[in-house]
Amino acid sequence: MTKRITLLGSTGSIGTQSLDVIRAQGYEVFGLSANRNADLLLRQIAEFHPKVVAVTDPAAAARVKSELDGMASPPRLLEGPQGLTELAAMPGAEILLNAVVGIAGLASSLAAVESGKDLALANKESLVTGGALVTEAVRRKGVHLLPVDSEHSAIFQCLQDPHSAKKLTKILLTASGGPFFGKTAEELKNVTAADALHHPNWSMGSKITIDSASLMNKGLELIEAVWLFGLPAEKVQIIVQRQSIIHSMVQFADHSILAQLGVPDMRIPIQYALTWPDRVEGPAPELDFATLGTLTFDLPDEETFCCLAAAKRAIALGGLVPTAVNGANEKAVELFLKGKIGFLDIGRFAQMAVDRFADATGSFTLEDVFACDAQARRMVEESV
Ligand code: NDP
Ligand code: MG
């Protein structure tokens, strides 16, 4: 059955892999979005013929506009962050895949759900910052929230039997450990962005690659798991699985455990989110047990990688505290990538955000989320 999809963040790592899946399945593309990469978006327009595109960066939008003017039947162009949200809300697609990076994806996740679309979510920051708002809207609108993040897809796949799912008692969230696994704080003092961008198992966008090196990614994923699967954070245990073959596991009341395995290839979880509840052939290779060798298991070092500890404290406090940690982290990662702060400063700012915003608990609106995000970013800027 053909599906009509709007794909936000189509020029990114998840975006381009999603288009591999869409191409292989022959799905129809209603909308695409980019921030800066006008050239790639133009090539995607030529191949997938979307009806609407959204470009957030003004210079890139101007460039796309000038190219579309000469085209025979060009897509409609929407501009700026409002254009992204408008595209997310437009009828014409039944499913929206959100592969934007950062809190910039939150408003469009909400707009997609409010317009009655199923939401295939790679943008974990939507749940970290607006988990209460997104999950409430999903319930109210009766739509499906389909995880794309590999660990959460694994958990979701292990919970397809509704009888067992009711008896879920623990989630074993696996982590690769990133490029700095086993290193001491002393050894991490002078690591550079180039060192941190060298992930052992996955090729991803720069922000999530730094998050994987600092273990903030696992902290964000812990919060994401709490919102997706409804277990308290204490029931989500993080296990380092260096080979990234076991993508996560679930434990039931009888202490039986189910795991989902496969090669580290994001096209598997992307495809599952788009074909669910069905499974079909896809472009990812099969796992070869003959050459696999050993699978190892370790615990993370939360003292050195204190981003993870900060995320745990944030979700325990609740309210806007996870938003503050996320905002501080987004700013810190941006500064680290520019060589303006050290690697260990990222964790220091995450901890500072929890301390500074520890009273911001309780219920909140979308406006409160954006205000808190701005404050947390300012806190980092003013401390550099
Ligand atoms: P990339 O940086 O590769 O891509 C990000 C996408 O978002 C690009 O299309 C980019 O546009 C767009 N974008 C960037 N900033 C903005 C903005 N301010 N407003 C609107 N659009 C913007 O990231 P990834 O694909 O790696 O990650 C995307 C999301 O998926 C993240 O939330 C990440 O945590 C999650 N994820 C990623 C995985 C991976 O393997 N990469 C695995 C699991 C989850 P442009 O390039 O045109 O500037
Ligand atoms: Mg993940």
User: Cα of 34 to ligand 1 centre, how many Å?
Assistant: 9
pLDDT tens digits for the chain (384 residues)? 689 999 999 999 999 999 999 999 999 999 999 999 999 999 999 999 999 999 999 999 999 999 999 999 999 999 999 999 999 999 999 999 999 999 999 999 999 999 999 999 999 999 999 999 999 999 999 999 999 999 999 999 999 999 999 999 999 999 999 999 999 999 999 999 999 999 888 889 999 999 999 999 999 999 999 999 999 999 999 999 999 999 999 999 999 999 999 999 999 999 999 999 999 999 999 999 999 999 999 999 999 999 999 999 999 999 999 999 999 999 999 999 999 999 999 999 999 999 999 999 999 999 999 999 999 999 999 999
Helix 321-337 crosses helix 306-317 at what angle (to 10 degrees)?
Answer: 150
Contacting residues for 346 by C-beta, under 8 A, at least 6 apart? 210, 214, 216, 307, 329, 332, 333, 336
Strands across the sheet with 257-261, in order?
Answer: 236-240, 168-175, 246-252, 257-261
Atom of ligand 1 nearest to the CA of 38: 47
Cis peptide before 200 (omega within 30 of 0): no
Q: Pairing state of beta strands 118-121 and 145-147? A: parallel
User: Cα of 21 to ligand 2 centre, how many Å?
Assistant: 18
- What's the pLDDT at 1? 65
- What's the pLDDT at 199? 85
Phi-psi sector, 318: left (phi>0), alpha (psi -120 to 50), beta: left
User: Cα of 101 to ligand 1 centre, how many Å?
Assistant: 4
- What's the pLDDT at 168? 98
Alpha-carbon gap, residue 54 to 77, rounded angstroms: 6
User: Cα of 58 to ligand 2 centre, how many Å?
Assistant: 31
**Ligand 1 atom 39 nearest Cα:** 204
**Per residue in 63-117, pLDDT tens?**
999 999 999 999 999 999 999 999 999 999 999 999 999 999 999 999 999 999 9
Atom of ligand 1 nearest to the CA of 124: 32
- What's the pLDDT at 200? 85
Q: What is the DSSP letter of 298?
A: B
**Ligand 1 atom 30 nearest Cα:** 122
Task: Report whether 306 contacts 351 (CB < 8 A).
Answer: yes
> 211: closest CA among 259, 149, 274, 262?
149
Q: Pick from 17, 35, 173, 218 the residue to mutate for probing ligand 1's pocket: most ligand atoms within 8 Å of its CB.
A: 35
Contacting residues for 104 by C-beta, under 8 A, at least 6 apart? 35, 56, 81, 84
Pocket of ligand 1 (CB under 6 A): 9-15, 34-37, 56, 84, 99-101, 104, 122-125, 149, 202, 204-205, 207-208, 266
User: Tokens in use for 142?
Assistant: 């009766």
Residue 99: nearest ligand to its CA? 1
User: Cα of 363 to ligand 2 centre, how many Å?
Assistant: 27
Residue 150: nearest ligand to its CA? 2
Q: Pick from 11, 14, 79 the residue to mutate for probing ligand 1's pocket: most ligand atoms within 8 Å of its CB.
A: 14
The β-bridge partners of 257 are 251
Q: Pick from 208, 247, 330, 331 the residue to mutate for probing ligand 1's pocket: most ligand atoms within 8 Å of its CB.
A: 208
**Ligand 1 atom 20 nearest Cα:** 35
**Ligand 1 atom 18 nearest Cα:** 104
Task: Report whether 250 contacts 155 (CB < 8 A).
Answer: yes
- What's the pLDDT at 277? 97
User: Cα of 321 to ligand 1 centre, how many Å?
Assistant: 23
- What's the pLDDT at 20? 97
Instruction: Enter the pTM of the model.
Output: 0.98
